[in-house]
Every structure is written in structure tokens, then in C-alpha cells.
Chain A
């Protein structure tokens, strides 16, 4: 069974700090998603990646397929970045559908002004 582990579980930062959230998984995947969930529940997909690196504004996501590890970086953090960040993977499972996402438990980020 694929386990998706995120670290840290909770993170408090000062405005302007560089933030890194990590995600590790145990078996082969076809894609990895980073999601953002704000208080109140709305979920936004930030990135979907299967190799390399993607950047959107102050957010950067990287993945190392060999090491089964991904990181989400936030540069120049701001209080509005406060949210839960969730890593999810789609297993490279030839026996089943590829719609079954496996989620990490999330990292709760609080950015203080």
C-alpha cells in the first residue's frame, strides 16, 4: 500500500520567510499533486507534476522520482499563504483505475505578520 507522508505537520513562519514542505511516498506514481486548503474548506490545486520542477508566482514544486520525494517551496511568505497544504499521488497501478488519489495528512502553515 502506498503511504504518503508529509512533513512537517505544522509550520509557523514569519512573513517573508522561505518555506519548504516535504512529501514522501513509498511506491511508483504516475503523478503528484499539491493542493491548498484554506480555512472554510475550499481546495485549490496548485501543481500537478510527474517530473522536474514547476513554478507559479512565489510557489515552486519539485519532484525526484528516484527518491520518491517532492517539495513545495514558498518564497517571501505572506499571511495569506496560511492554509493546509496537501500532497496527493496517483499510483502507477496497472490493476486499477488511475483516479484513486492517495492523500497525505496535510501540513498546516501559519504565516505571522
Chain B
């Protein structure tokens, strides 16, 4: 597609359930980022993939969070045993080339996760 695609756009789940959020970056973009925006809060870095390098997981808030990127393209963010504080908008972005911080970011429209 032309832009970064995220699915689902909305997800309501019960506390304790696992959820999977998907991101399909722009074709050819080697860098992929996951961010989180909680209600009334700023954006928070979660994880960064760059090509075949080991991902930077330094932003993941707990070991309940994990992410993978298969074939250098689609990425899945998994949250196990969801908690109410996980409720947020989860945003994915991608950029071309090396992801050094010097490339323009393209954002998906996000997944609104609500944990009841």
C-alpha cells in the first residue's frame, strides 16, 4: 500500500488476555518503530527494528511486551496478560534507508487498545 497500515484500528480486550497488533510498513522501508500514546500523555518509544540488526527493545515497559518483524517487513507487537494500564494508542512508523534518525518518519493511524 501507499502508507503504513496498522490493524486492527480498535481493539477491546479483557484484562489478562493476550493481544496482537499488526503493522505493515511502507514497502522498502528498512526501519520500523513502535510507539505508545497513553491518554493525556506524550508519545513513548517502545521498540525499533532496523534491517537485519538486533532490535532495540529498550523502550518495552515489561516482559509482557514483545515484537517481531518477519522477513524485514510486517511487524507484530504482542502484549501478554494485558493490564488496564496497557490501554493506549499503539502507533507504528517506518522510514527509509538506515534509520539513523535522519530520515522522515511515516506513521500509521494507530491501534486504539482498550483493556477492560
A86 at interface by CB-CB < 8 Å: yes
Kindly state the separation between the CA atoms of A31 and B105 in the bound complex, as whole angstroms: 12
Interface members, chain B 85-110 (any A CB < 8 Å): 89, 91, 93, 99-107, 109-110
B58 at interface by CB-CB < 8 Å: yes
Kindly state the separation between the CA atoms of A96 and B38 in the bound complex, as whole angstroms: 25
Q: Is the interface of B mostly helix, strand, loop or mixed?
A: strand
Q: Is the interface of A mostly helix, strand, loop or mixed?
A: strand
Given contacts A43-B107, A45-B106, A45-B107, contact A103 B101 (CB under 8 A): no
CB contacts (< 8 Å) of B41 on chain A: these are 105
Minimum Cβ distance to chain A for residue B72 (Å):
15
Asked if A98 contacts B101 (CB within 8 A), the reply is: yes
A41 at interface by CB-CB < 8 Å: yes
B33 at interface by CB-CB < 8 Å: yes
B82 at interface by CB-CB < 8 Å: no
Q: Mark B53-89, 1 if CB is under 8 A from A, else 0.
A: 0001011000000000000000000000000000001
Kindly list the 4 A-B residue pairs having the minimum CB-CB distance in the complex, ordered from nearest: A90-B101, A99-B48, A97-B56, A43-B107
Q: List 8 A-B contacts (CB under 8 A).
A: A35-B107, A86-B42, A86-B43, A99-B56, A100-B48, A100-B59, A101-B101, A103-B45
Could you list which residues of chain A lie within 8 angstroms of chain B, going by C-beta atoms? 29-31, 33, 35, 41-45, 48, 50, 86, 88, 90, 96-106
17 additional contacts (CB under 8 A) given A43-B107, A90-B100? A29-B101, A30-B101, A30-B102, A31-B100, A33-B104, A35-B105, A41-B37, A44-B107, A88-B43, A96-B58, A97-B50, A97-B58, A98-B101, A99-B48, A99-B50, A100-B59, A101-B43
